[in-house]
Amino acid sequence: MGGSGIKGARVDLESGEFIGDRIKIATPQPATPEAVADTIAEILRIAEWNGPVGITLPSVIKNQIALSAANIDKSWIDTDVQALFTEHIGEREYSVLNDADAAGLAEVAYGDPRAKEGVAILLTLGTGIGSAFLVGGTLFPNTELGHLIVDGKEAEKYASSAAKDREELSFSQWAKRVSKILKEYERLFWPSLFIVGGGISRKADKWVPKLTNDTPVVPAQLRNRAGIVGAAMAAESGIKP
C-alpha cells in the first residue's frame, strides 16, 4: 500500500517474478484502514487469489499492530491489522509488515548477493525514506531511519525523492543531501553495504556516482517488484513482525 496506489500481484517464489500482471488501484481518499482493506479485497478478486496474502504498510508493525502512520491516514495508528483484514476480506493467512522491510527481504533472496553478508542497509527513497536492516541476511524490523534527525532536519524531509521534487533540486544537489544522511548512518551503524530502492533508483546512474560517503552503494535490483515480492515471502514463511 502506498500513498498514491495500492498494488498487488501473484508471486512465483521460486523465481521472485510476478505471475500475470501487476494490479493497481488508486489509493482511496481518505486512506482509512477500512477503505484500504476494501481496496485490497478488490485486488484479490481481480487476481482470483484465495491463498495467503502479504501486505505492506508504510508503518511500524509490531505484534501485527500498526504503530505509526508517517505519510498515511493517522487512523492507522493502533490498528490491529490481522483483525482488520480478517473482518474486511475474510479468514486466511495474512502477514503484514513494513514496506521497506518487505523490500529488504526480497533483495536478500533475489537481489545482490552482498545483501546476505555483514550488515546491509536498504533504503527506499520515495515520499518518505524507509529502511531495512539486514544482518547476515536476517531482517531486523522497524528501523525507521527516515526519521533520524541529521543536522537538525528529519532525514526524510531533507533527502527523500519527494524533497528533491518539492525543492526542485538537481541530481547533484540532492546527492549531497543523500550523502549527508548516509554518512550519519555510517557513523552510527557501520554497515558493509547500502542498497538504494524506490522509483528514483531507476535513475541510479545519475546520482549514485555523485555520493561521497565511504560504504559501497548499490541500486536495488528488484525495482518496483521488491515490496510485493517481499510481502509474498513473508506470507509464505509466516513472518509476522
> Would you tell me how many other CB atoms lie within 10 Å of the CB of residue 186?
15
Q: Does 107 bind ligand BGC (CB under 6 A)?
A: no
Do residues 240 and 64 make contact, with C-beta atoms less than 8 angstroms apart?
A: yes
Dist CA 136 CA 190 (whole Å):
14
**Which residues is 122 bridged to in the sheet?**
132, 195
Nearest distance, CB of residue 20 and ligand BGC, angstroms: 25
Which of 130, 197, 227, 230 is the binder for ligand BGC (CB under 6 A)? 130
The verdict on 79 binding ligand BGC (CB under 6 A) reads no
- List residues bridging with 61 in a β-sheet: 66
Nearer to ligand BGC, 68 or 201 (CB): 68
CB 24, min distance to ligand BGC, A:
17
Region near ligand BGC per CB under 6 A, out of 5-13, 41-49, 84-92, 94-102: 94-102
Give the x-and-dash track for 135-154 against ligand BGC (CB under 6 A): ---------x-x--------
200 binds ligand BGC (CB under 6 A): no
Can you tell me the distance from the alpha carbon of 108 to that of 104, in angstroms, rounded to the nearest whole number?
6
* Number of residues this chain uses to bind ligand BGC (CB under 6 A): 14
Name which of 10 and 76 has its Cβ closer to ligand BGC.
Answer: 76
Phi-psi region of 48 (alpha: psi -120 to 50; beta: other; left: phi over 0): left
Interface pattern 43-62 for ligand BGC (x via CB under 6 A): ---------------xx---
For residue 142, report the phi and psi dihedrals to the nearest 5 degrees.
65, 45
Give the binding range for ligand BGC (CB under 6 A) out of 4-12, 39-47, 98-106, 170-178. Answer: 98-106
Assess 128 for contact with ligand BGC (CB under 6 A): yes
Q: Which is nearer to ligand BGC, 10 or 130 (CB)?
A: 130
* Residue reference for cell 536498504: 122
Taking the least distance from each CB to ligand BGC, the nearer of 9 and 57 is 57
Distance separating alpha carbons of residues 61 and 64, to the nearest angstrom: 6
CB of 111 or CB of 227, closer to ligand BGC: 227
Grid cell at residue 59: 508503518
Query: Could you list the residues that contact ligand BGC (CB under 6 A)?
Result: 58-59, 68, 70-71, 98-100, 124, 128, 130, 144, 146, 156
